Amino acid sequence: MAFWKRVFTWWDGVTIGTALDLRRNGVEAGSDYLGNTYYLSKKGSRRMVAYVGEPDPALLPPEWYGWLHHMLDQPPEQVTRRPWQKVGKANTTGTPNAYKPAGSLDRGGQRPHATGDYEAWSPE
């Protein structure tokens, strides 16, 4: 089952065809602490990433993001994380885990009543 999943699905990681294409036409440039692998095309014009798991660009480390978008000329060296740095979180917009503020209809709450400090505009 895992073989067929890698052949036909792209949302759970790199498909077999993509992995073969990356190995044939690219040179591995490095990897990050999440396990994503980065490639540079043999011609040197394209930069690519092979995600581990779900492909979510929100989880790219900043140093690799800069390299992918040609802001940095060289691939970043092994970066040590400082204790105060947090690991990135996936973008949860549009999912059941999305942020819902107080008063949101999705949260089931009620909006607070107007306080009277607002006057509606009406054209003359």
Question: Tokens at residue 15, please?
Answer: 């498909």
pLDDT at 9: 66
Q: Output the CA torsion sign for 87, 88, 93, 94.
A: negative
76, part of any domain: yes
Query: Of 78, 75, 54, 48, which is closest to residue 64 (Cα–Cα)?
Result: 75
40, part of any domain: yes
Task: In whole angstroms, give the CA distance from residue 114 to residue 124.
Answer: 24
Per-residue pLDDT of the chain (124 residues), as tens digits, is 666 766 666 666 677 778 888 888 899 999 988 889 999 998 888 999 988 877 888 888 888 999 999 998 899 887 777 889 887 777 888 888 888 887 777 777 776 677 777 788 889 8
Beta carbons of 43 and 57 less than 8 angstroms apart:
no
Beta carbons of 19 and 37 less than 8 angstroms apart:
no
Residue 40's identity, in one-letter code, is L
Q: How far is CA 15 from the centre of its chain?
A: 18
21, part of any domain: yes
Query: Of 8, 10, 49, 57, which is closest to residue 31 (Cα–Cα)?
Result: 49
111, part of any domain: no
114, part of any domain: no
Whether the predicted model's global pTM rises above the 0.75 cut: no
95, part of any domain: no
